[in-house]
A and B are shown apart, each in its own frame.
Chain A
Amino acid sequence: MRIALFITCFNDTLYPGTGRAVLTVLERLGHTVEFPRDQTCCGQLHFNTGYRPEAIPLVARFARAFADYDAVVTPSASCAGMVRDHHPLLAREYGNPGLQRQVEDLVPRVHEFTELLTDVLGVTDVGARFPHRVAYHPTCHSLRGLRLGDRPSRLLREVEDLDLVDLPAADSCCGFGGTFAVKNADTSAAMLADKGDAVLDSGAEVLCAADNSCLMHIGGGLSRRRAAVRTMHLAEILAATEGAAP
């Protein structure tokens, strides 16, 4: 199976370690992963902010870059959701019949990282060891967008020596929302403060999620509060083999 990595512009620029972690996990499971270099961004920023025509070249670029692969994997629930739910809509609204066909053909092959592992590859034990107390934050796009359900926690429970703790009010939004955090900075900050309290109440050493954007927001708030909790993408925990026998 030819698997392509869609790293997302956000991870590419700010969190390259997440992409390397995805490679580590998939290669450990015996798969070869390619990185099509023509890829850039899914267009979510433009679509969600109201700049729909501006997103069209990005939709077309995505469809071109990944057309030849059996599976496309991305470590971002919100970008996977953008491709799955909104690329077909944009292609219908602004694109030509050729683009519509390309997009509709590609979309079923696009998977968020935990979906690829559990649904396509059929694994939950990825051979990781991470001896820490971890809380999982279901980002809104994981929870209500893609409906990832218990896929992330099934994967986390198989990690050796990982202590998975409950996050209070886990399903409430952290207040990031892309440009919401800038346009409505005060409301966003109020939501962030409550999420930060919940993270501290959980007693976790590490907070993980399937979206680095929400983690940047929550982690940025925790850092400003001088809290000792680390934020890590779920893939980085699944890639870890801390203290495991070689």
Chain B
Amino acid sequence: MSDHRDRGVVWLGAPSFPDAARGALKDTQLRANLRRATATIRDKRLAVASELDDWEQLRDAGAAIKRRTSRHLDRYLVQLEASVTAAGGIVHWAADAAEANRIVTELVLATGEREVVKVKSMATQEIGLNEHLAEAGITAYETDLAELIVQLGDDRPSHILVPAIHRNRTEIRDLFAAEMRHWGRPAPEGLTDEPADLAEAARRHLRSRFLTAKVTVSGANFAVADTGTVVVVESEGNGRMCLTLPETLITVMGLEKVVPTWSDLEVFLQLLPRSSTGERMNPYTSTWTGTTDGDGPRTFHLVLLDNGRTDTLADPVGRQALACIRCSACLNVCPVFERTGGHAYGSVYPGPIGAVLTPQLVGVENAASLPFASTLCGACYDACPVKIDIPEVLVHLRAEVVESGTGGAEAPAMRAAAAVLDSPRLLGAAQKAAALGGRALARHGRIGRLPGPLRGWSDTRDTPVPPAESFRTWWRKNREGER
């Protein structure tokens, strides 16, 4: 097993979730951007999902395929390797981020090129590939519009599907105007913040890249084991440019992306676009099987990335997080994500799925605040197209955090509370003490600001004064005649 530090995923030095959230909550522009964007996608998703009579059956089918595949993951991966190899591709296995980065860097250097174009990919974000390539003197150019915005802003992605969701169009205009010149073709003079103008500026900027690039690095949404076909779905067509024009194509794919057959793929090609962008069908679905003479890249490498996934697979409750198809539906319905944005999660995987995936990929002790970054409201579970029970995994991981002993003063307090709650006599005594203490603190029938660990609570909420008589005391006096 590799050391977690080789695994990327979590940004080094990221503060705990509550601390990181505090800044975001004060950023009214960020909150307005997020609220508008998530509400729009949320409504579109609900509309297109409700069009299908068999939506719930599709979700069940998606969940079942993922469960079945993960039970036999070893077999399907070996089958995938054989199919890809038979079709003329070359398969590499990477145990962790460091190994994957080394493999990709060596493959690029071997082509003699020092520039690569990239198709939007969570796996390469996860391993921090761009930074590693830069250290080897290789420049990676992001071609997905939102990833381009993040790259130009020297920023971090804050959403799985819409990495620049935290930016509004005025901010994007300013970024294009200031930064595009440093990465290639400058933005046109007098660029406005109209979406069409911004898209046109990006199109012109990227076009020269597509036409000159010799090497592409991509991720994969799916890979079909029995044919060796790799699949990328996208909305812009920029990915297809990268996947077809260059001579060398290197795909980095998480182990869990394999599906057994094309019929399994059919289920996900219905679930994914509806859940992610609220579209019936994504505009571009690119599939490739090894290499083909006279068409597309001459060389195809597939890097199969573990990076904590087999450890996750070993946990019977937590492994369901590997069923994630990265649609972002859970982010868009999450009331916590809507207020804090993605950066507060300190990981390339934000939101509810990030809160369960990240601690498993890097070890709970390295992301101990994330399983608690949820009210367990359950909206994510209802939205998930493959029925990952995120609340269940969250409380499961909370228990692991507690077992890892990073709870501080909380553990003795919780154990004391358990002892009191296991005794009607002690509970009665505690209720009397609470009633007395509450009355001492109360003003006008309410308890206002409190000191100590409850200060955060009492900053914005009054607390009710415990009544003099608990229910059990009332019952004893009034129904059992005791005094």
- Asked if residues B459 and A50 are in contact (CB atoms below 8 Å), the reply is no
Residue from B21, B379, B479 in contact with A144 in the complex, judged by beta carbons closer than 8 Å: B379
**In the bound complex, CA of A9 to CA of B459 (Å):** 25
Given A51-B402, A175-B335, are A187 and B461 also a contact pair (CB < 8 Å)? no
Instruction: Tell me if A192 is interfacial: C-beta within 8 Å of chain B.
Output: yes
**In the bound complex, CA of A147 to CA of B398 (Å):** 25
Binds A, one of B5-13, B173-181, B200-208, B415-423: B415-423
Chain A residues lying within 8 Å of B403, measured Cβ to Cβ, are 50
Chain B residues lying within 8 Å of A179, measured Cβ to Cβ, are 372
**In the bound complex, CA of A118 to CA of B136 (Å):** 68
**In the bound complex, CA of A143 to CA of B375 (Å):** 14
- Asked if residues B377 and A224 are in contact (CB atoms below 8 Å), the reply is no
> Nearest Cβ in chain A — how far from B331, in angstroms?
15
Residue from A39, A49, A177, A187 in contact with B377 in the complex, judged by beta carbons closer than 8 Å: A177
Instruction: Tell me if B336 is interfacial: C-beta within 8 Å of chain A.
Output: yes
Instruction: Tell me if B470 is interfacial: C-beta within 8 Å of chain A.
Output: yes
Given A184-B18, A187-B339, A221-B460, are A140 and B434 also a contact pair (CB < 8 Å)? no
Chain A residues lying within 8 Å of B336, measured Cβ to Cβ, are 184, 187, 191
Within 8 A of B (CB), among A151-191: 171-173, 175-191
Instruction: Tell me if B414 is interfacial: C-beta within 8 Å of chain A.
Output: yes
Chain A residues lying within 8 Å of B476, measured Cβ to Cβ, are 37
- Asked if residues B414 and A54 are in contact (CB atoms below 8 Å), the reply is yes
- Chain B binding surface, main DSSP class: helix
Given A40-B423, A40-B424, A186-B25, are A144 and B464 also a contact pair (CB < 8 Å)? no
Binds A, one of B120-128, B163-171, B271-279, B449-457: B449-457
Given A49-B402, A184-B17, A187-B340, are A57 and B418 also a contact pair (CB < 8 Å)? yes
Instruction: Tell me if A216 is interfacial: C-beta within 8 Å of chain B.
Output: yes
Within 8 A of A (CB), among B225-266: none
Chain B residues lying within 8 Å of A96, measured Cβ to Cβ, are none
Instruction: Tell me if B382 is interfacial: C-beta within 8 Å of chain A.
Output: yes
Chain A residues lying within 8 Å of B472, measured Cβ to Cβ, are 7, 12, 35, 37
Chain B residues lying within 8 Å of A127, measured Cβ to Cβ, are none
Residue from A41, A51, A143, A183 in contact with B372 in the complex, judged by beta carbons closer than 8 Å: A183
Instruction: Tell me if B153 is interfacial: C-beta within 8 Å of chain A.
Output: no
Give the interface centre of B335, B399, B414, B424 by most chain A CB atoms within 10 Å: B335
A-B Cβ contacts below 8 A, count: 185
Instruction: Write the chain A residue with the least CB distance to B476.
Output: A37
- Asked if residues B335 and A50 are in contact (CB atoms below 8 Å), the reply is no
Instruction: Write the chain B residue with the least CB distance to A35.
Output: B475
Within 8 A of B (CB), among A53-74: 54-55, 57-58, 61
> Nearest Cβ in chain B — how far from A137, in angstroms?
13
Given A9-B427, A220-B462, are A40 and B422 also a contact pair (CB < 8 Å)? yes
Instruction: Tell me if B284 is interfacial: C-beta within 8 Å of chain A.
Output: no
- Asked if residues A180 and B372 are in contact (CB atoms below 8 Å), the reply is yes
Within 8 A of B (CB), among A1-47: 7, 9, 11-17, 19-20, 35, 37-41, 43, 45-47
- Asked if residues A144 and B474 are in contact (CB atoms below 8 Å), the reply is no
Chain B residues lying within 8 Å of A143, measured Cβ to Cβ, are 378
- Asked if residues B418 and A173 are in contact (CB atoms below 8 Å), the reply is no
Chain A residues lying within 8 Å of B68, measured Cβ to Cβ, are none
Within 8 A of A (CB), among B104-126: none
Instruction: Tell me if A241 is interfacial: C-beta within 8 Å of chain B.
Output: no
Instruction: Tell me if B138 is interfacial: C-beta within 8 Å of chain A.
Output: no
- Asked if residues B377 and A173 are in contact (CB atoms below 8 Å), the reply is yes
**In the bound complex, CA of A19 to CA of B478 (Å):** 13
Instruction: Tell me if B22 is interfacial: C-beta within 8 Å of chain A.
Output: yes
Instruction: Tell me if B471 is interfacial: C-beta within 8 Å of chain A.
Output: yes
- Asked if residues B375 and A14 are in contact (CB atoms below 8 Å), the reply is no
Given A16-B474, A144-B377, A144-B378, are A173 and B335 also a contact pair (CB < 8 Å)? yes
Instruction: Write the chain A residue with the least CB distance to B421.
Output: A41
Chain B residues lying within 8 Å of A183, measured Cβ to Cβ, are 18, 372
> Nearest Cβ in chain B — how far from A136, in angstroms?
17
Binary contact track B1-29/A, C-beta < 8 Å → 1, others 0 = 00000000000000001100110010000
Give the size range of B's interface with the partner.
35 or more
Instruction: Tell me if B376 is interfacial: C-beta within 8 Å of chain A.
Output: yes
- Asked if residues A16 and B422 are in contact (CB atoms below 8 Å), the reply is no
Chain A residues lying within 8 Å of B411, measured Cβ to Cβ, are 51
Instruction: Tell me if A92 is interfacial: C-beta within 8 Å of chain B.
Output: no
> Nearest Cβ in chain A — how far from B57, in angstroms?
19
**In the bound complex, CA of A223 to CA of B463 (Å):** 9
- Asked if residues B418 and A55 are in contact (CB atoms below 8 Å), the reply is yes
- Asked if residues A182 and B374 are in contact (CB atoms below 8 Å), the reply is no
Within 8 A of A (CB), among B393-441: 395, 398-403, 407, 410-411, 414-415, 417-418, 421-424, 427, 430-431, 434
Instruction: Tell me if A87 is interfacial: C-beta within 8 Å of chain B.
Output: no
- Asked if residues B399 and A186 are in contact (CB atoms below 8 Å), the reply is no
**In the bound complex, CA of A223 to CA of B462 (Å):** 6
- Asked if residues A182 and B25 are in contact (CB atoms below 8 Å), the reply is no
Given A61-B422, A182-B457, are A173 and B375 also a contact pair (CB < 8 Å)? yes
Binary contact track A120-150/B, C-beta < 8 Å → 1, others 0 = 0000000000000000000010011100000
Instruction: Tell me if B373 is interfacial: C-beta within 8 Å of chain A.
Output: yes
Give the interface centre of A37, A50, A173, A221 by most chain B CB atoms within 10 Å: A50
**In the bound complex, CA of A219 to CA of B374 (Å):** 21
- Asked if residues B418 and A54 are in contact (CB atoms below 8 Å), the reply is yes
**In the bound complex, CA of A37 to CA of B425 (Å):** 10
Instruction: Tell me if B132 is interfacial: C-beta within 8 Å of chain A.
Output: no
- Asked if residues B395 and A58 are in contact (CB atoms below 8 Å), the reply is no
- Asked if residues B470 and A13 are in contact (CB atoms below 8 Å), the reply is yes
- Asked if residues A7 and B471 are in contact (CB atoms below 8 Å), the reply is yes
Chain A residues lying within 8 Å of B423, measured Cβ to Cβ, are 40
Chain B residues lying within 8 Å of A217, measured Cβ to Cβ, are 461
Instruction: Tell me if B469 is interfacial: C-beta within 8 Å of chain A.
Output: yes
- Besides A13-B427, A180-B372, 16 other CB < 8 A contacts? A9-B421, A9-B427, A19-B475, A37-B424, A37-B476, A39-B424, A40-B427, A47-B395, A50-B403, A51-B415, A55-B418, A140-B375, A143-B378, A173-B377, A177-B376, A181-B461
16 A-B contacts, Cβ less than 8 Å apart? A12-B427, A39-B424, A41-B421, A49-B414, A180-B372, A180-B374, A181-B457, A183-B372, A186-B18, A186-B25, A189-B459, A189-B461, A191-B336, A216-B464, A220-B463, A224-B462
User: Interface of B with A (CB < 8 Å)?
Assistant: 17-18, 21-22, 25, 31, 335-336, 339-340, 371-379, 381-382, 395, 398-403, 407, 410-411, 414-415, 417-418, 421-424, 427, 430-431, 434, 446, 448, 453-454, 456-457, 459-464, 466-467, 469-472, 474-476, 479
